[in-house]
């Protein structure tokens, strides 16, 4: 479990719109973490929050349809 796994997922999502769409579905951080673990990205909620805070991103969805703006290009 590591911040590097969070960063790897955020980069992968920035490069793949299908991956972004998949990770826009979970409503909670807990569901997001479970989905990520199933895809090989093992990290904790605390690690996710730390990376998002450091980058100035927020987990909550916005827009219509609701999407997350956490992905790194």
11 — phi, psi (to 5°)?
A: -70, -45
Number of domains into which the chain is organized: 1
Tens-digit pLDDT profile for residues 23-61: 999 999 999 999 999 999 999 999 999 999 999 999 999
Which residue(s) pair with 62 in the sheet? 67
Tell me whether residue 66 is in a domain.
no
Angle at 10 between CA 50 and CA 60, to 5 degrees: 65
Q: Report the chain's mean pLDDT, rounded to a whole number.
A: 96
Tell me whether residue 33 is in a domain.
yes
Question: Is 16 a residue whose pLDDT tops 60?
Answer: yes
Tell me whether residue 61 is in a domain.
no
Positive or negative: CA dihedral 28, 34, 38, 39: positive
Tell me whether residue 60 is in a domain.
no
pTM for this one?
0.94
Tell me whether residue 51 is in a domain.
yes
The number of C-alpha atoms within 13 Å of 67 and in the hemisphere containing its C-beta is 14
Range of the domain at 21: 3-55
**Which pLDDT band holds residue 73 (cuts at 50, 70, 90)?**
confident
Other C-beta atoms closer than 10 Å to the C-beta of 50 total 14
Tell me whether residue 67 is in a domain.
no
Tell me whether residue 11 is in a domain.
yes
Tell me whether residue 64 is in a domain.
no
């Amino acid at each position: 479990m590591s911040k590097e796994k969070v960063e790897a997922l955020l980069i992968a999502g920035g490069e793949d719109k299908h991956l972004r769409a998949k990770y826009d579905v979970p409503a909670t951080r807990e569901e997001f973490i479970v989905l990520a673990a199933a895809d090989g990205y093992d990290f904790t909620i605390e690690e996710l929050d730390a990376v998002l805070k450091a980058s100035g991103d927020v987990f909550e969805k916005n827009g219509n349809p609701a999407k997350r703006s956490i992905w790194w290009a």
